[in-house]
Structure 1
Amino acid sequence: MTRTTAWRRHPLARYAVLVLALALIGVAYATLVQGSRPADAALASGKLDDVAQGKSLFQAHCSSCHGLSAEGTSTGPTLVGVGAAAVDFQVSSGRMPAANPGAQAPRKPTPRWVNEETTRQLAAYVQSLGGGPTIPSKDQVDPAMGNAAKGGELFRANCIQCHNWGGAGGALTRGKYAPSLNESSPQQIYEAMVTGPQAMPVFNDTTITPQEKRDMIAYITEVRSQRDPGGFGLGRIGPVTEGLVAWVVGISFMALVAIWITAKKRKKS
């Protein structure tokens, strides 16, 4: 009996062959997936060279906070797995690149190098690093395809606590705040729901379906065009500004009336 024949008849031989086969399959699968990720992300964004261009933009404008490979640093979190939707929301709204890291990244005018093409390229690169929520299609964010009445119910149940009934925003704890939604595009509203920026929770499709998201977008955009039948809206912030105006205007009016009455009595005497 040869050595090879003896090895084949060994009780552990079949297990060794099985382990070797599984290892080869795993290596082959990992190689194929790793090679297809950039291409898939680029195809989703519309151009094959978006990932390469996005990587150059990332290293030039984002790596100082997020690391050369988006692994994160002490001043910026890792972007692996956040998805293209998060990048599109943060960059298109001017929140990123951040001028000064802090508790809240405010909305601001975008830098000169930021446009629709460069934002798409950055998003494609980050998407290639580990998946995550993708940029929604136009149909997904079209307010005309939503029901504003149903969206109002959903908004009041899930968002009014932070963003106010009219989307005017409000203060949170530790220097954070819920921003106003008046300047947000339908796409940015959808992306915020699926990515949960900063203090906002993530509303995935299991929690709020895509149709319900469209309903909420329809409500938010419709509220902007509504008039305030009672007079000045006062920013639609609520009883805080209303009470402040009532107090300041009311007390000032009463003080002026008291001064006028006193001056009138002095003239008579």
Structure 2
Amino acid sequence: MARVKKRRASGRRSPMAAVVLIGVGLLFTGGIYAGASAAVAATTDSPATAAALSVDDGKKLFQANCATCHGMDLQGTPNGPSLYGVGELAVEFQVATGRMPLAMQGPQAQQKPPQFTEDQIRAMAAYVQSVAPGPTYPSAQTLDGKGDVPNGAELFRTNCAMCHNVSGAGGALTEGKFAPALNDVSALHMYAAMVTGPQNMPVFGNLNLNLDEKRDIISYLLYLQHNESPGGYGLGSLGPVSEGLFAWIFGIGTLIGATVWITAKSN
């Protein structure tokens, strides 16, 4: 019988093998890189590390970002006022609302997203408080929103509504200034505004509004934030201006349209 020769394997691999090997290699190295990055981020940005910011850290942040206008020793410059006596509460308010650092000169500082983390803001505030003490953070009870809401409404109408509107919708002032809307302001920043008097707002000391009265006003504003208008659509809560405009456009407009339609039908 004739012997049948076995064909030797050529040893050539499929063209897809190299592609598969490259893909596996990329997935493997990418996984290692992602895991290492997550580990580094967890180490550097963990709450324990962030909470460790000290007054000295706040001093460095202040000198790097605020001293140009307010001076290395908080003494003020031609570009910014002195911070002696403003306290940590004013610093927290101005920086946490993005009003500081100031983006540009104008009638008043505009609110914008903050440029620092909460811990960095607290550290800078603690530094200012250590150098030039002033108003500090209130107790949790003052901010709990469980005060006398009707009394807070009356106090707000008497002391604040002429600028902020009776419903806290804000309003225009002179020379391009304005009183901001209060529909998304935190309880802490409501208190800080009353105590520190930012922008055009006066300072309400304990002789003007005691601590319980401030708590009542905060409770009233928080009530407005979390409860819908009982009268239906509020039209921005801007009062007679928006209501009159609505009546003029839709009310009188409807009457005119009906008159034109009746006249056209009669002809």
TM over 0.5: yes
Does residue 241 (structure 1) correspond to residue 242 (structure 2)? The answer is: yes
Question: Could you tell me which residue of structure 1 aligns to residue 130 of structure 2?
Answer: 128
Deviates more, 1:70-79 or 1:87-96: 70-79
Tell me the CA shift for residue 79 of structure 1.
1.3
5 Å-filtered alignment, 1:87-236, equals 87-111=91-115, 114-144=116-146, 146-236=147-237
The 3 A distance-change label for structure 1 pair 74 and 260 is: farther
Question: Could you tell me which residue of structure 1 aligns to residue 9 of structure 2?
Answer: none
The 3 A distance-change label for structure 1 pair 263 and 118 is: same
The percentage of counterpart residues that share the same residue type is 52
Q: Residues 81 and 129 of structure 1 are in contact (CA less than 8 Å); yes or no, is this contact kept in structure 2?
A: no
* SS across alignment from 1:202: coil
Q: Deviations 1:235-267 (Å, cap 9, x if unpaired)?
A: 11111111122222234334433443454345x
Q: Residues 169 and 236 of structure 2 are in contact (CA less than 8 Å); yes or no, is this contact kept in structure 1?
A: yes
Question: Could you tell me which residue of structure 1 aligns to residue 7 of structure 2?
Answer: none
Tell me the CA shift for residue 199 of structure 1.
0.8
Q: Residues 53 and 119 of structure 2 are in contact (CA less than 8 Å); yes or no, is this contact kept in structure 1?
A: no
The 3 A distance-change label for structure 1 pair 115 and 200 is: same
Deviates more, 1:182-191 or 1:98-107: 98-107
Q: Please give the alpha-carbon distance, in whole angstroms, between the structure 2 residues aligned to 1:229 and 1:141.
A: 25
Tell me the CA shift for residue 50 of structure 1.
2.5
Q: Residues 184 and 225 of structure 2 are in contact (CA less than 8 Å); yes or no, is this contact kept in structure 1?
A: no
Question: Could you tell me which residue of structure 1 aligns to residue 67 of structure 2?
Answer: 63
Q: Residues 80 and 130 of structure 1 are in contact (CA less than 8 Å); yes or no, is this contact kept in structure 2?
A: yes
Q: Residues 148 and 219 of structure 2 are in contact (CA less than 8 Å); yes or no, is this contact kept in structure 1?
A: yes
Does residue 252 (structure 1) correspond to residue 256 (structure 2)? The answer is: no
Q: Please give the alpha-carbon distance, in whole angstroms, between the structure 2 residues aligned to 1:189 and 1:147.
A: 16
Q: Please give the alpha-carbon distance, in whole angstroms, between the structure 2 residues aligned to 1:204 and 1:160.
A: 18
Q: CA RMSD in A?
A: 2.0
Question: Could you tell me which residue of structure 1 aligns to residue 26 of structure 2?
Answer: none
Higher radius of gyration, 1 or 2: 2
Tell me the CA shift for residue 69 of structure 1.
2.6
* SS across alignment from 1:143: coil
TM-score normalised to structure 2 length = 0.75
Q: Deviations 1:98-137 (Å, cap 9, x if unpaired)?
A: 21221122222222xx122011111011112221111223
The 3 A distance-change label for structure 1 pair 75 and 265 is: farther
Q: Deviations 1:172-227 (Å, cap 9, x if unpaired)?
A: 11111111111111111011111011111101123211111111111111122332
Q: Please give the alpha-carbon distance, in whole angstroms, between the structure 1 residues aligned to 2:257 and 2:65.
A: 57
The 3 A distance-change label for structure 1 pair 250 and 75 is: farther
Does residue 77 (structure 1) correspond to residue 77 (structure 2)? The answer is: no
Q: Please give the alpha-carbon distance, in whole angstroms, between the structure 2 residues aligned to 1:196 and 1:55.
A: 24
Tell me the CA shift for residue 143 of structure 1.
1.2
The 3 A distance-change label for structure 1 pair 64 and 252 is: farther
The 3 A distance-change label for structure 1 pair 67 and 259 is: farther
Residues paired across the two proteins, number: 217
Q: Residues 133 and 194 of structure 1 are in contact (CA less than 8 Å); yes or no, is this contact kept in structure 2?
A: yes
* SS across alignment from 1:120: helix
Q: Which amino acid aligns with 1:200?
A: M
Unmatched tracts of structure 1, length 5 or more: 1-46
Q: Deviations 1:13-34 (Å, cap 9, x if unpaired)?
A: xxxxxxxxxxxxxxxxxxxxxx
Choose which of 39, 54, 57 in structure 1 pairs with 2:58.
54
